[in-house]
Structure 1
């Protein structure tokens, strides 16, 4: 059975605006307004999933969505959580260089890029058995990892994908074969 998955990135938050590794801050006023404006523009999903972060939960709520279950969490950043990349780079330039160049590195003590991509790929393939239409509000890095999985692309390409706030990325297919539809603007 073919499944259709729409991944929605969260609206703008203070953490996203500051390029801060998730600090559990919610949406900023502009992000909340944008998400509310986009409400009603979504096709009725069969199943709604939402990542556990505050910005994903608030985006889903502002879009008028009620989660039936939890979607994958964002990238576990360990000791870097709540800090900006600039702050970490100033204190640990070698660690940041390793993190950006080696997909298996996790100098922050959290999850490596390889682990993130594997976790998201397993989740996506499991959805193929879950029904025909799924809508999931997830962190941008989950969208990027899902896109790579769908394309069978190398993990290193993760850094070359941009996911703007409050956009939809469509996937259709089944385990082992996915098609990708990028960048539907929700606002």
Structure 2
């Protein structure tokens, strides 16, 4: 859901409060997105080695903190360097969250129907992004940019709390039972 908020909020804040032109902002975000993707690829082996769940929890915590810092900074200063630093962390965290969620989704897939399951998971992720944007619309004009960042920080906290209750091992047991049943048929 946070993905549906971050794009319009960052763009509006950069242009309206920091005085960047749309071209300057687009150039900055494009470079940042490419750098985050490259770093995400480099982190892939570490995510595999140390566990997607652990990386996801870490990214959610760092995401909550960085968005909270962004919220405080947005209310107190229009410092381009501070915004840039927060943006770098936010984009990197977003990439790590994306990669680790995909890794967790892949662990949930039964190989026999993995393509279908993965398509459903990705569709749900996209629906979550769109839903976040839609749910934010009624409140967007009533919140300051600082409050927008705090809402996003709260979404990271809620996601981290949800991850605490997510039991991948239980699903793995169900997959093993499905495999055993399919092998008998």
Q: Same fold (TM over 0.5)?
A: no
Higher strand share: 1
Structure 1 or 2, whichever has the larger Rg, is 2
TM-score scaled to structure 1, two decimals?
0.28
Higher helix share: 2
The structure whose RCO (Cα within 8 Å, separation 6+) is larger is: 2
